[in-house]
A = this chain, B = another copy of it.
Amino acid sequence: MDPLSRIERALNAAVAQADAPGCPKLLARAMRASVFPRGARIRSRLCLAVAMACGEDAPDVTDAAAAAIELLHCASLVHDDLPCFDDADTRRGRPSVHCQFGEPLAVLAGDALILLAFQVLAEAAAVSPVRLAPLIGVIGRGVGVPHGIVAGQAWECEDSADLALYQRQKTGALFASATMAGAAAAGAEVTPWRELGLRLGEAFQVADDLRDAVGAPEELGKPVGQDLAHQRPNAVLELGLNGAIGWLGELAERAVESVPACPGRADLRSHIVSETSRLLPRQLAKVAA
């Protein structure tokens, strides 16, 4: 089964837990709408690619790790879109979850997806109990305090924030979780995989800043110009358009260089080259070429 199919199957099985009798139907629907239709699944595919490069020996654990990463990412999007944050009407080209189901169900769907990530990990751990704690450790650190997504998002509530710190927490941290969770799922040492995740996360954030700044709503599937409107840090506002494009290219190169020694190193490097080449918004790819 190809990686994306594995991920979709694992996510489907996870979200289906809410379809059990006795669970409120609207909550189940709001959770499903938070996870499907799919986005690029960049983080979960990265997690799976690292596990395969490390010679995965417990595919169920890999699938659970990848699904957990994606569920937490989806949860963060649903909460980020809430009226008290971005107040975004659309996401992935559809009405955002709070626009479809109302604010209460958007809050609850996000909460339920965070919890579901850990439920999924615990269920898969029966086959390999000793891998569960490291997995939760690296995943928790990518999302929770002190330096995960919630911390990154909370910088928007402070009077000032350091751009690098903000982006590393808001985006880089979960990418680092994705690479380290892939290693942990395969029983490999996690620390050497952190750097790759951070570099990819930074590259992804710069690409997201570029899309927000140059305006490609149909490519982005969500409103553009949000960073300027909300006075949020953005690499284009900080470095200029050409500076941001150059920085993106350099981060992509550094990511490829940072892949640690592992059985499937060559394949993983190809995966990363392919992924990062798709990050630059289409209308800018011509400018940069």
Contacts and interface: CB of A to CB of B under 8 A. Distances in A.
Interface of A: 17-28, 31, 75, 79, 82, 84-85, 101-105, 107-108, 110-112, 114-116, 118-119, 121-123, 125-126, 129-130, 132-133, 136-137, 140-141, 143-148, 150-151, 153-158, 161, 165, 169
Contact of A23 (B20, B101, B145): B145
Given A102-B157, A112-B144, 7 more contacts: A24-B155, A84-B103, A101-B157, A122-B136, A123-B133, A129-B133, A136-B136
Contacts of A143: 115
B84 A145 contact: no
A145 B111 CA distance: 10
B104 A157 contact: yes
A145 B26 contact: no
A43 to B, nearest CB: 16
A165 B122 CA distance: 26
The 10 closest A-B pairs by CB, nearest first: A115-B144, A23-B146, A27-B154, A122-B136, A20-B146, A119-B140, A84-B103, A18-B145, A24-B154, A125-B133
Candidate in A23, A155, A156 with the most chain B CB atoms within 10 angstroms:
A23
Main secondary structure of the interface of A (DSSP, over half): helix
Nearest to A27: B154
Contact of A123 (B101, B107, B137): B137
Nearest to A101: B157
Contacts of A101: 157
Nearest to A165: B22
A17 B146 contact: yes
Given A24-B158, A84-B107, A144 B116 contact: yes
Given A27-B151, A79-B107, A79-B111, A137 B119 contact: yes
A151 B105 contact: no
